[in-house]
Amino acid sequence: MKHNFGAGPGILPQEVLKQAAAAVINFNGTGLSLLEISHRSAEFEAVLDEAVSLVKELFEVPSGYSVLFLQGGASTQFAMVPYNLLPEGGKAAYVESGVWANKALKEAKYFGTVDVVATSKESNFTYIPKDFEVPADAAYLHITSNNTIYGTQLQQFPSSPVPLVCDMSSDIFSRKVNVADFGLIYAGAQKNMGPAGVTLVIVKDDILGKVDRKIPAMFNYQTQIEGGSMYNTPPVFAIYVSMLTLNWLKAKGGVEAIEKDNLAKSKALYTEIDRNPLFKAVAVPEDRSHMNVCFVAENPEHEKPFLKLCDEKGIVGLKGHRSVGGFRASIYNALPITSVHVLIETMQEFAEKNK
């Protein structure tokens, strides 16, 4: 078995993969594959209903919010958010905490004025900008809760006088959040929720309907809400596997329980990085991510041989993003702590060999 530290699409629980594989052959005893039944069948409608209920239950979504399963990835949300929420001639506030945040704000510029209220670009995004003012006339404030590439994570969400919109692609369901503090949350499924191909959106209904522009049906949250995420054919397989993963999370004790596990994993790994003279963490300590642990070799010549040793130990997906270099250990919900221990032992073995 491999130790999968890939940043995304990321590791999924083994039992989920087994259930998904079985459903591809014979879904719930129907004698049909999940991939060849109608999305309007009672069987699939039950899957979608269960997925929505699990999101509501696990994240304690209050009433007045809609839960959507859409297509196009988080990148489509970069455009859909301003399309639906930024009025003509209006402005939106963005915190630029990484490349994904930058891509989000670039899309918003197609629809109105973008006020970048804070950025950490000058330090290649090694920290989360915190002290900023949000203009009271902004349509919304957009933040990124976890910056997948740099390994920084918001430990405390900013209070905002305007609706808070958050890209939670790489830490959704990894920790408790108070959904009532947000106007809209979105996340590509492929890190903590399921496979690529579906995007979760949790939107507060009363922030919608405030722009005058005409919005094509597929890009309109209202159409998607009215269609119950089935305005068109939804990504049935990705929704099914997400439903299985959410059920797995529920059986593990839910978000609170997984948060404890995630903290134990990240603590063990950062402790080793700080202790081991060969390695150095990338992010400033107070903003370190509990999902993507980014670190570099003190001696760049150690990078290749360390990755080779990792490969020998069955550790995969550890290479850092090309814009940061070094290593990135993504320790998403489904990664067991035993895999983290294997990585730590490998770091120790490497240090022993390179004394």
* Binding site as annotated, residues for L-glutamate: 40
Region from 73-81, 211-219, 298-306, 310-318 binding ligand PMP, contact rule CB under 6 A: 73-81
Query: Whose structure tokens read 């990240």?
Result: 266
Pairing of the two strands 152-153 and 113-119: unpaired
Contact letters for ligand PMP, residues 165-194 (x by CB under 6 A): --x-xx-----------------x------
Q: Which is nearer to ligand PMP, 96 or 167 (CB)?
A: 167
Element (H, E) at 58: helix 42-58
- In angstroms, the CA 23 to CA 324 distance is 39
The answer to the question of residue 73 lying near ligand PMP (CB under 6 A) is yes
Euclidean distance between the first and final Cα of the chain, in Å?
Answer: 30
Q: Which is nearer to ligand PMP, 173 or 350 (CB)?
A: 173
The single-letter DSSP state of residue 157 is P
**Residues labelled catalytic:** 100, 167, 191
The single-letter DSSP state of residue 187 is E
Site for ligand PMP in 118-157 (CB under 6 A): 144, 148
Q: Which is nearer to ligand PMP, 86 or 99 (CB)?
A: 99
Given 65, 100, 270, 295, the residue binding ligand PMP (CB under 6 A) = 100
Region from 27-35, 70-78, 208-216, 223-231 binding ligand PMP, contact rule CB under 6 A: 70-78
Single-letter amino acid, residue 233: T
Least spacing, CB of residue 135 vs ligand PMP, in Å:
24
The helix/strand/coil state of 253 is coil
Structure tokens at 281: 């963490």
- In angstroms, the CA 235 to CA 251 distance is 24
- In angstroms, the CA 154 to CA 286 distance is 9
The answer to the question of residue 287 lying near ligand PMP (CB under 6 A) is no
Q: For binding to ligand PMP (CB under 6 A), which residues are involved? A: 8, 73-75, 100, 144, 148, 167, 169-170, 188
